[in-house]
Amino acid sequence: MTEAEYFGKWLNILNGQELHRIMNILAIEYKKKPVCPKKELVFKAFHLCPYEEVRIIMLGQDPYPQKDVATGLLFGNQKGIAEELFSPSLRVIKESLSALKSFGPSQGFDPTLEPWAAQGILLLNSSLTVEMNKVGSHSTLWKSFISEFLQKMSMYSPGIIYLLFGKQAQFFERFIDNTCNTILMENHPAWYAREGINMPPTIFKQTNELIKKQYGNFLEWFQKY
């Protein structure tokens, strides 16, 4: 698959020179030390959520730094993982969403979050890679890439809803044009997991209301089986 086929119209927004600079650095990094996620998953969020379909951008912090956990999608877990093995952040999110409405046996929760991407949600970490077990180790590498991406995206594609989870994501608020986009902020789910308290569903409820107003339908956080 060519770069154009993989990224599609995202190449109109992404800084190609910066993209190639980072890819060259990562080619060396992956040879020297363990990096998360796997190399072929680094830009998966862009591949699964086409530019022309994006309605929401969720921004977090690092990918999961544990071996074979990160999938390239913010908060996503591996396909088929048992619920009791969900990452703490994903467990917090599922419990928060469950408070929005009841769901029966005909509805389930896909831990990959790929159905979210298919609905126009760009699930993005503010660092797309991290050295295994070293949180924040690649934040400098990605800072310019993410900053410029958000600045251009918010300027050229107005009407996007930005959900910023945690302080690392909220640092990038300054690069988002809030005159023609909506910015919502919440603590990172990992914070709620550490504190042992439930995350209120407020940010998801507000998002649903905005999406309903703009597009006439609600998001399907849970999938029908």
- Catalytic residue set: 62
What is the C-alpha radius of gyration for the chain, rounded to an integer number of angstroms? 17
Amino acid at 14: L
Amino acid at 13: I
- Spatial CB neighbours of 176, under 8 Å, sequence gap ≥ 6: 150, 151, 154, 162, 183
- Spatial CB neighbours of 209, under 8 Å, sequence gap ≥ 6: none
How do beta strands 161-165 and 35-36 pair? unpaired
In 3D space, the residue among 183, 181, 188 whose CA is nearest the CA of residue 126 turns out to be 188
